[in-house]
Amino acid sequence: MSSPTDLALVEAARGGDASALDALIERHQSRVFRFATRMCRNTEDARDVLQETLLSMARSVGRFRGESSVSTWLFAIARSFCIKSRRRRAGAPAEILSLEAEGRAATSAIPDDAPGPDRVLERQEIASTVGAALHSLDPRHREVLLLRDVEELTAPEVAEVLGLSVEAVKSRLHRARAALRERLRAALESGAAVCPGTLDKLSRHLEGEIGPTECAEMERHLASCPGCTTACEALRRALLACRQIEAPRIPADLERSIRERVRRLVAERV
C-alpha cells in the first residue's frame, strides 16, 4: 500500500490525528536538520532551529492550505529561525563543524562501484573540502545552494522559500556556484586559466536556461580548452557532492523532546 501524501497527512493532522503529525515530522525532520546544521554552523543553534520549526508546524498545521509543498513551507520556517539565530549570535564565535565531521557527514559524495582505499580517501577529501567550502560562503549564497543543490528544491520552490523571483534565485544561484568553485579551485583544479563566462554558462545550462545552439557552442569550446574543461568538471563534481550530502543523525534526546512537546500541543487543542 502506498504511503499517504503530505497533503493527506496535513488534512488528517488538521482534524486532530496525532499520528499523522508524527508521520509528517518523521518524513521531513532529517532534511530540516541538515539545512539547519549547514546554515547555522553551530550544533546548539541547529537543534533549536529543528525544534522550533517542527513545533511551529504543529501549531500552524490547521492554517496550512496547500498553496505550497510541505517541504517548501518547512524550509521557509526553518530559514526564518536560522536568520534569527544568526542575528542573535552576531559577534559570537561559532561552533563550526570540523573538517573530519564534514567528511563523515558526506562520505558518499562521489559515487563508484567498488572503491579501493585510494578512491575512498579521495571521496572523503572531496566531501570535507566541499563541506568546508559551503560553510565559508556568504549566507545568501549558502542558503540558495543548500536549497537548490543539496535539498534539490525546484527554482520556483526556492524562490518561495527566499521570497524572491525565480529570475533573482537563478541569478543568485549562478553567483553562488561560481563562489563555490572559487573556494574549491585549489583543491579540485590544476590552476589552468578559465575563459570568462564559461562557468556561468554551465550553471545556466544546468538550469535549462540555454538553448541547443548555445549548448553546442559550449561543447565545441570545451573540446578545445583544457582549462575550461577542468573547471567545469570540478564544478560538476562539487555539485554532485552537494546533492549527496547525508543528513546528520538527529540526537535521540532532541527527537524525544520534540515528540513530547508536539504531543502536549495536540493534547491542549483537544
The DSSP code sequence of the chain is -PPPPHHHHHHHHHTT-HHHHHHHHHHHHHHHHHHHHHHH-SHHHHHHHHHHHHHHHHHHGGG--SSS-HHHHHHHHHHHHHHHHHHHTTTSPP-PPPHHHHHHHTTTSS--SS--HHHHHHHHHHHHHHHHHHHHS-HHHHHHHIIIIIS---HHHHHHHHT--HHHHHHHHHHHHHHHHHHHHHHHS------TTHHHHHHHHHTT-S-HHHHHHHHHHHHH-HHHHHHHHHHHHHHHHHHTPPPPPPPHHHHHHHHHHHHHHHHHH-
Query: For the residues 233-244, what does the mean pLDDT come to?
Result: 87
CATH number, domain with residue 226: 1.10.10.10
pLDDT tens-place string over residues 205-226: 999 999 999 999 999 999 999 9
Mark whether 147 and 157 lie in a shared domain: yes
Query: For the residues 181-190, what does the mean pLDDT come to?
Result: 76
The pLDDT-based confidence of 265 (bands split at 50, 70, 90) is confident
Mark whether 166 and 255 lie in a shared domain: no
Mark whether 119 and 139 lie in a shared domain: yes
Cell of 91: 559577534
Mark whether 128 and 228 lie in a shared domain: yes
Q: Dmax over Cα atoms in the chain, in whole Å? A: 69
Query: For the residues 256-270, what does the mean pLDDT come to?
Result: 85
Please give the span between the terminal C-alpha atoms of the chain, in angstroms, as a whole number. Answer: 30
Number of domain units in the chain: 2
Specify the pLDDT at position 266: 80
CA distance 83 to 241: 25
CATH number, domain with residue 40: 1.10.1740.10
The pLDDT-based confidence of 154 (bands split at 50, 70, 90) is very high
Query: For the residues 57-74, what does the mean pLDDT come to?
Result: 91
Query: For the residues 241-245, what does the mean pLDDT come to?
Result: 86
Specify the pLDDT at position 190: 60
Mark whether 112 and 225 lie in a shared domain: yes
Specify the pLDDT at position 112: 42
pLDDT tens-place string over residues 141-150: 999 999 999 9
Mark whether 114 and 230 lie in a shared domain: yes
The pLDDT-based confidence of 67 (bands split at 50, 70, 90) is confident
Mark whether 224 and 180 lie in a shared domain: yes
The pLDDT-based confidence of 267 (bands split at 50, 70, 90) is confident
Mark whether 159 and 44 lie in a shared domain: no
* Average pLDDT along the chain: 84
Mark whether 146 and 80 lie in a shared domain: no
Specify the pLDDT at position 101: 41
pLDDT tens-place string over residues 125-134: 666 788 889 9
**Residue 185: domain span:** 107-245
Query: For the residues 247-258, what does the mean pLDDT come to?
Result: 93
Mark whether 170 and 262 lie in a shared domain: no
pLDDT at 2 over 60: yes
pTM score of the predicted model? 0.84
Mark whether 255 and 241 lie in a shared domain: no
Which amino acid appears at position 61 of this protein?
A: V
pLDDT tens-place string over residues 9-52: 999 998 888 899 999 999 999 999 999 999 988 889 999 999 99
Q: Which is more confidently placed, 76 or 266?
A: 76
Mark whether 264 and 218 lie in a shared domain: no
pLDDT above 70 as % of the chain: 83
